[in-house]
């Protein structure tokens, strides 16, 4: 039986130490047995988080530029794995994320793989399978079921992976010279997806390789995702269209993109998340970016298969084999939380299912101290396909949620708390 390939997980982090710490804590619970962690950041986690489990095994390199493409290339230079995976610092992967994401690389023609991304509530999807054209215009790629699907790229259609949930064969990245540094923010991975397709590599879409993405605030956007500036978005779009689009279609595509972005800003305004007077300045920054992006030039990174500093396994072959589900009513929330924390201290994967006697919609989040917390009404829905009200008792609802999570977390045992406990 062939051993699983070495995987390098690259994390780029800028000015978000709390998010970075939570992500690093979550990596302890990945079921994949053989991966290293590379952090490209303006803080050294080895110095800032000395109490963190196995922090000494992390490969660290300083973030010298806020450009996402340059930062990812720095991580790529340090990678020693056969596969290089990327996850953003404001995201948290499900425990089986890497196991699912890496599996399609058994096909030697697969050069990239991407999974699905869940939003802030932990249930609705922020992004699924998508494809794009030569102007970077995206559309949904409809898939049935949860099995991975492999697609070729063409001159007119690329297969998209999300920057916060993707992996690449390192040999393919080296062949193509990594990420194009002309993309400071936005479309850097889309450009790479397109070039991979042109070079003959295939892309796998892996529905069960899932991460939860929080969209934390940054220099470019607020915590509610409203943009602070659209300059770099415009610049990346202008550069992408100039490089890959048909010259006769660039002006029309740029006009459509501006209209799309203006509609998006109006939606923020209607929700009360963006002041009306900010819209003209944001649109001006977008148009300046589009013009500047058309003049940019990129450089091909010179890489070798030698990698950096050897392979440093993060878990040293230790990974969780089961999930401990702790379920009960909200009245015993503190007891369930303390039980989960104790399991987390011993490296055990715990999920708390905290139910109220209502039909409230469910939410789930990974807690900073190392366990998953799901809250919601015992009669409420946790999937869009569920009815708004479904009569359940505590035990049957807990078992139902365990079954729902079987695809993304290791199967395990149930500890049931009652109101009298």
Q: Alpha carbon 387 to chain centroid distance?
A: 28
The pLDDT confidence band at residue 160, using thresholds 50, 70 and 90, is very high
Q: What is the pLDDT of residues 386-412, one digit of tens each?
A: 888 988 899 999 999 999 999 999 988
Considering only residues 319 and 366, tell me which one the structure prediction assigns the higher pLDDT.
Answer: 366
Residue 328, beta-bridge partner list: 354
Q: By C-alpha distance, which of 81, 75, 72, 88 is closest to 33?
A: 81
Collapsed DSSP state (helix, strand, coil) of residue 337: helix
pLDDT at 158: 97
Longest dimension (CA), the chain: 72
Q: Is 327 within 8 Å of 415 (Cβ atoms)?
A: yes
pLDDT at 315: 77
Q: Is 105 within 8 Å of 178 (Cβ atoms)?
A: no
pLDDT at 390: 87
Q: Which of 37-46, 68-77, 298-307 has the lowest mean pLDDT?
A: 298-307
Q: What is the pLDDT of residues 326-365, one digit of tens each?
A: 999 999 999 999 999 999 988 899 999 999 999 999 999 9
Instruction: Report the distance separating Cα 185 and Cα 197, nearest Å.
Output: 22
Instruction: Report the distance separating Cα 417 and Cα 324, nearest Å.
Output: 13
Q: How far is CA 16 from CA 59, 163, 216, 358, in A?
A: 18, 17, 8, 36
Percent of the chain with pLDDT over 90: 81
Beta-sheet pairing, 110-118 with 202-213? parallel
What the chain holds in terms of domains, given with CATH numbers, is: 7-215 (3.90.550.10), 217-298 (no CATH), 323-416 (3.40.50)
Q: In the structure encoding, which two tokens stand for residue 320, read together?
A: 């969780």
pLDDT at 299: 74
Length of the chain as a residue count: 421
pLDDT at 221: 83
pLDDT at 9: 98
Q: In the structure encoding, which two tokens stand for residue 253, read together?
A: 């595509």
pLDDT at 316: 57
Residue 38: partners with Cβ closer than 8 Å, 6 or more residues away: 8, 9, 10, 11, 58, 59, 60, 61, 75, 78, 79
Q: Is 319 within 8 Å of 412 (Cβ atoms)?
A: no
Q: Is 27 within 8 Å of 37 (Cβ atoms)?
A: yes
Q: How far is CA 30 from CA 23, 79, 146, 409, in A?
A: 11, 19, 20, 9
Q: What is the pLDDT of residues 295-331, one digit of tens each?
A: 998 777 666 666 677 898 997 555 677 899 999 999 9
pLDDT at 2: 72
Q: What is the pLDDT of residues 4-20, one digit of tens each?
A: 899 999 999 998 999 99
Q: Assess whether pLDDT exceeds 60 at residue 1.
A: no
Instruction: Name the phi and psi angles at 44, rounded to 5.
Output: -90, 110
pLDDT at 420: 61
The pLDDT confidence band at residue 282, using thresholds 50, 70 and 90, is very high
- Residue whose tokens read 């920057």: 163
Instruction: Report the distance separating Cα 29 and Cα 15, nearest Å.
Output: 25
Q: Assess whether pLDDT exceeds 60 at residue 124.
A: yes
Q: Assess whether pLDDT exceeds 70 at residue 112.
A: yes
Q: By C-alpha distance, which of 223, 218, 233 is closest to 184?
A: 233
Q: Read off the DSSP letter of residue 276.
A: G
Q: Assess whether pLDDT exceeds 80 at residue 268.
A: yes
Q: Assess whether pLDDT exceeds 80 at residue 86.
A: yes
Mean pLDDT estimate for the chain: 92
Q: Is 30 within 8 Å of 24 (Cβ atoms)?
A: no
Collapsed DSSP state (helix, strand, coil) of residue 164: coil
Helices 231-244, 188-198: axis angle to 10 degrees equals: 10
pLDDT at 320: 72
The pLDDT confidence band at residue 223, using thresholds 50, 70 and 90, is confident
Instruction: Report the distance separating Cα 26 and Cα 254, nearest Å.
Output: 40
Q: In the structure encoding, which two tokens stand for residue 394, read together?
A: 């505590």
């Amino acid at each position: 039986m062939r051993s699983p390939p070495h995987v390098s997980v690259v994390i780029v982090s800028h000015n978000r130490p709390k998010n970075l710490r939570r992500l690093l804590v979550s990596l302890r619970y990945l079921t994949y047995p053989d991966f290293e962690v590379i952090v490209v950041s303006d803080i050294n986690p080895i110095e800032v988080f000395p109490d963190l489990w196995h922090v000494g095994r992390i490969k660290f390199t300083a973030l010298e530029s806020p450009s996402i493409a340059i930062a990812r290339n720095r991580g790529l230079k340090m990678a020693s794995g056969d596969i290089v995976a990327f996850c953003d610092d404001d995201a948290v992967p499900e425990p089986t994320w890497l196991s699912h994401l890496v599996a399609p690389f058994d096909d030697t023609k697969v050069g990239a793989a991407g999974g699905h991304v869940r939003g802030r509530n932990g249930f609705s999807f922020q992004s699924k399978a998508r494809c794009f054209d030569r102007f970077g215009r995206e559309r949904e790629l409809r898939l049935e079921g949860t099995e991975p699907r492999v697609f070729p790229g063409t001159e007119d259609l690329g297969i998209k992976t999300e920057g916060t949930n993707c992996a690449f064969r390192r040999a393919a990245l080296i062949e193509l010279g990594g990420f194009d540094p002309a993309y400071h923010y936005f479309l850097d991975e889309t450009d790479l997806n397109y070039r991979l397709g042109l070079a003959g590599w295939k892309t796998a879409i892996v529905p069960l390789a899932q991460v939860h993405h929080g969209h934390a605030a940054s220099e470019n956007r607020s915590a509610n995702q409203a943009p602070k500036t659209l300059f770099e978005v415009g610049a990346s779009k202008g550069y992408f269209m100039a490089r890959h689009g048909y010259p006769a279609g660039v002006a029309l595509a740029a006009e459509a993109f501006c209209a799309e972005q203006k509609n998006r800003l109006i939606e923020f305004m209607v929700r009360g998340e963006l002041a009306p007077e900010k819209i003209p300045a944001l649109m001006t920054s977008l148009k300046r970016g589009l013009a500047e992006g058309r003049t940019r030039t990129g450089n091909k990174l010179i890489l070798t298969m030698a990698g950096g500093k050897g392979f440093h396994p993060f878990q040293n072959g230790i990974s969780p084999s089961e999930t401990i589900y702790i379920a009960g009513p909200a009245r015993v929330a503190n007891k369930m939380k303390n039980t989960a924390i104790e399991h987390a201290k011993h490296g055990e994967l715990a999920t708390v299912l905290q139910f109220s006697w209502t039909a409230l919609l469910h939410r789930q989040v990974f807690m900073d101290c190392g366990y998953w917390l799901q809250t919601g009404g015992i009669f409420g829905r946790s999937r869009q396909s569920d009815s708004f009200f479904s009569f359940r008792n505590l035990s049957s609802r807990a078992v139902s949620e365990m079954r729902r999570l079987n695809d993304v977390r290791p199967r395990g045992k149930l500890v049931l708390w009652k109101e009298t406990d």
